[in-house]
A and B are shown apart, each in its own frame.
Chain A
Amino acid sequence: MTFFSPSARNSTRRSGRIGKEQRRWGFAFLTPWLIGIVLFYLVPFVASFWFSLVDFNLANPEDTHYVGFRNWQRAIFEDPNVWESFSVTFAFAAISLPLGLGLALMLALLLNSKSVRGKALFRTLFYMPTMIPLVAAVFIWTGVLNEQTGWVNLILENVFGIQALGVNGLRWFANTRLIYFSLTFIGLWGVGNTMLITLAGLQSVPTDLYEASELDGAGFFQQLWYITLPMISPVLFYNIVLGVIGLMQYFLVPWVLNGGSGFPDGWTNFAGVYFFVQSFKFFNMGYGSVIAWLIFLIALILTLVLFGSARYWVYYAGGEN
């Protein structure tokens, strides 16, 4: 994957007239991006660090003044909400990432299996909910998981005989043990992209590997563990990295569910939500910048750890890395 492995090909620099023209036209085509990266990435990136050193509230900008690392100190040592928001984000990630990636892998395996009929139709239908606007998906799931009238509890109670309705029933959005599963379910409707990417990974595994292992008498799980998973490990890696970075900014679903109240008991006060509440509800732009920087730094550390771990478990068939 080019995404994570810099191209090994070293182009020979051309010199003279052609080289000059290459340079000139190359940069000419890059112009929009060169302007954009400065205006919308580099300058704001540096500025946001500067913002983190001032007390700046958009409600009364006249009061803006330099406070040094006061905001950082407050976020790291004094405000319990900050660390709570990061720890609930990690707790949620620990549930939601394995379930999300597991479902994507299972669906991709089914859609790649010789034995499943109607694969094109299945693929379309499993992808379909990915197209539903997430706000709408949250409302649909809020309905189906409603403790009294939702189909999930009605089916569990009436078909499977599990006590789901009533006071001691399954309160999907109020019970601290269930809330992360409910949020994960909503997220599973977006499984489409991960599923397709994993499927493409599966399809690129050379079939002779399976044929050879069949001759050696390998069963399905042996093939999965010793051939499939190592061969698609770059794809799994890509999915994990994007998943981790996405979760560090997890905002929409909890926000639409409870407007940043953290219900139940702070369990949905994720880092992305707390950032929004501080920056765009209270307009504490200085303090919000600190939270943004913490999100960035933690995402960076996690990404670096993942990249560092890659050489122990990610297998590049092409021999790169």
Chain B
Amino acid sequence: MATQDSFLSIKQWNILRSIGLTLFTLVVLIIFLLPLGYGVMTSLKTDSQLGTIGAPWYPASPFVFEYEGKEYDVYEVEIDGSLLELALVKKGREASEFIDPNNPEAGIIAWEGRWRQLEQAWFFDPVWENFITAWNTIDFPRLLGNTMFYAVLSTIGAVASASLVAYGFARYDFPGRSSLFMLVMATIILPPSVTLIPTYAFFHRIGWVGTWWPLIVPQFFANGYNVFLLRQFFMGIPRALDEAAMIDGAGHFRIFWSIVLPQARPALLAVTLFHFFFAWNDFFGPLIYLAGNPDSYPITVGLDGFKGLYEQMDNLIQAASLTAAFIPLLVFFFAQRVFMQGVVITGVEK
């Protein structure tokens, strides 16, 4: 407990502390998500705004006023202490002439000063074309299709194999079980680089480099992380139902399939989501196995190549990045509970 001020009752103190801490959390959150704000704002800007020094931080276009068939830029001009938005109709070095767009009938307003030092007036004007341009240039539908193909197939393999293996570890008693399980744990912390080169050389030899198979096929042989998560969950499912089913004459696979798996739905869903997003965001695997075969690139590798082409066009880069993030974020908002529970199962099971 913090020290209590004698002017405040405990209740008032608690309210104050609640407001203070909540505000603090909010400030941290705003700083934390600031880059996302930058990404959204930049993705909606025009090329010319990006190239203009002193342009607003939000997507905007310079205010233009049409007067007697001609277009004039609008500037922020200070006249008699108040800031007005006026259209510059005649430029002069030391004095210029303006028109008030809201009241053109009032005629020419003369102003003394250097117009080059004035700030242009802008109005909020998001352009969505960047998203369309990025979508088409990067050939997003093809990348999406490739990513989807990889994510779906490898998730099926990963979930199916891991649930079989985890069930074996959770429900059966056989010699060497605990040493084998230690081996499962060891594969989780083994740096993948130490097995990568021979694996790559092997897939190269059988002609699979350039295809998705080296990335998908190994997923059908149970990944340690998924086995660990599912085993933890299976161990928490009471055996009473299995035993009843066994007495009724159900076979081993039947018990696994119809009794235990349905009860493990939350964990299965968590593993499915984890693996799906692992595959969705995988960069290293596709980078080495699909090198030189751009037709089969997933979103991550495609996005990386896009940067090389449009180094200076930050609006397009941000639009492409946000497009790539859109589906994972969408799924996350719908399935966040399952997702966050799954993280906790892996992390702190005792």
Q: Which chain A residues have a beta carbon within 8 Å of chain B's beta carbons?
A: 1-3, 6-7, 11, 13-14, 19, 22-23, 25-33, 35-37, 39-41, 43-45, 47-48, 51, 56, 58, 106-107, 110, 113, 115-118, 122-129, 131-137, 139-141, 143-144, 146, 149-152, 154, 188-189, 192-193, 196-197, 200-201, 204, 214, 217, 219-220, 234-235, 238, 241-242, 245, 248-249, 251-252, 256, 272, 275-276, 279-280, 285, 288-289, 291-293, 295-296, 299, 303, 318
**B314 close to A140 (CB less than 8 A):** no
Question: Given A33-B227, A135-B283, A296-B193, is A125 in contact with B29 using a C-beta cutoff of 8 Å?
Answer: yes
| A128 x B329 contact (CB < 8 A) | yes
CB within 8 Å: A-B pair count:
286
**Which of B74-82, B84-92, B115-123, B194-202 has 4 or more CB atoms under 8 Å from chain A?**
B194-202
Provide the residues of chain B in CB contact with A197, threshold 8 Å. Answer: 343-344, 346-348
B7 at the A interface (CB under 8 A):
no
Asked if residues B193 and A252 are in contact (CB atoms below 8 Å), the reply is no
In the complex, per-residue mask of B178-197: 1 if CB is within 8 Å of any chain A CB, else 0 = 10101111010111111111
In the bound complex, what is the Cα–Cα distance between A39 and B217 (angstroms)? 11
| Chain B residues engaging chain A, CB cutoff 8 angstroms | 1-2, 14, 17-18, 20-22, 24-25, 28-29, 32-39, 42, 50, 57, 161, 164-165, 167-169, 172-175, 177-178, 180, 182-185, 187, 189-202, 204, 218, 220-222, 227-228, 232, 252, 256, 277, 280-281, 283-284, 287-288, 291, 299-300, 303-304, 307, 314, 317-318, 320-322, 324-325, 328-329, 331-333, 336, 340, 343-344, 346-350
- Give the distance to chain B from A170, nearest Cβ to Cβ, in Å: 15
Most buried by B among A32, A117, A296: A32
Indicate whether A245 sits within 8 Å of B321 (C-beta atoms), given known contacts A7-B178, A23-B175, A133-B303. no
The distance in angstroms between the C-alpha atoms of A63 and B157, with both chains bound, is: 38
Q: With a CB–CB cut-off of 8 A, which chain B residues contact A107? A: 28
The answer to whether A33 touches B25 (Cβ under 8 A) is no
CB-nearest residue of chain A to B183? A37
**Are A29 and B165 interface neighbours, CB within 8 A?**
yes
Q: How far is the CB of A97 from chain B (nearest CB, A)?
A: 16
Contacting B325 at CB < 8 Å: which of A110, A131, A318? A131
Residues of B within 8 A of A249 (CB): 191-193
C-alpha gap A27/B173 in the complex (Å): 10
